Amino acid sequence: MKINYSCGMAVYPNASGSVSEMVNQSLIALIANTKVLQVPYVLYSADISNIVHRDLAIQSTVENGLDNNEVYPVYQVQQSVKDRSIVGLEILARWKSGQFGEIPPDTFIPLMEKKQAIKRLGIYMLKQVIAEFKEHDIQVKKDFKISLNLTSQEFMDVRVISEILFLIGQSQFELSNLCIEITESVILENISDANSMIHFLNERGVVVAIDDFGTGFSSLSYLKQLKINKTQNRQDVYYGLSP
């Protein structure tokens, strides 16, 4: 049996001036432990308090990032292995908060998931990309892929997927230009429902890819059950494999 634990601590009188203050500081350390740092135990300090209060402040303003157009796309080029030609772009979300400056995705995306704002993110990013390509009059070929990362909440929501397909249909892109990237965890939550959604998208010409294959369960057996079009593998997935 394996038991996990989380512990927040405060030391009297170094950090605390009273019993009630020590209890509050211990709770702050515990929040830092479970929500931010994710380590077995945390000892309260002024720095720990600042981390927690900043995290809570960011969480309270996370939807403002979308409402105020502070979230913006950057593009990661995808190249052909054969001739190194550019065959697609992956859309990556970035947030420059007017209050907190640049906030990394591994901070704001989990916060968006907690606030349910995450269901707006993929649609918001796609709108930004469509507008940028239109502004610069960028034309793409039918086999060029625009890769959009979706979380489980987005991918399994029919309304989100329908809105994405509608936006593509009203844009300069074809559905065949769209590649939706999901993680292994999205599939493993419910293989049957995920497969139904993948099949629905495939029928409309949309490619579905597993991003960073190798970070989760990494079983090749479940891939046989799915209609995944491609995987983007971590390097260590290839270790130990013979040609």
- Per-residue H/E/C for 104-140: CHHHHHHHHHHHCCHHHHHHHHHHHHHHHHHHCCCCC
Model pLDDT, residue 190: 80
Q: Is the pLDDT of residue 11 over 80?
A: yes
Cis peptide, bond prior to residue 110, ω within 30 of zero: no
Angle between helix 158-169 and helix 118-135 axes, rounded to 10 deg: 10
Q: Is the pLDDT of residue 238 over 50?
A: no
Higher pLDDT, 28 or 223: 28
Share of the chain above pLDDT 90, in %: 42
Q: Which of 40, 37, 35, 13 has the alpha carbon at shortest distance from 25?
A: 13
Model pLDDT, residue 233: 44
Tell the burial category of 153 from Cβ atoms under 10 Å away from its Cβ (0-12, 13-18, 19+): middle
Higher pLDDT, 54 or 186: 54
Each residue's pLDDT tens digit, 37-61: 667 788 888 888 888 888 888 888 9
Give the CA angle between residues 172, 174, 176 to the nearest 5°.
Answer: 150
Q: What is the mean pLDDT of residues 202-207?
A: 94
Q: Is the pLDDT of residue 127 over 90?
A: yes
**Domains of the chain with CATH codes:** 1-60 (no CATH), 69-238 (3.20.20.450)
CA atoms within 13 A on the CB side of 87: 11
φ, ψ dihedrals at 214, nearest 5°:
120, -5
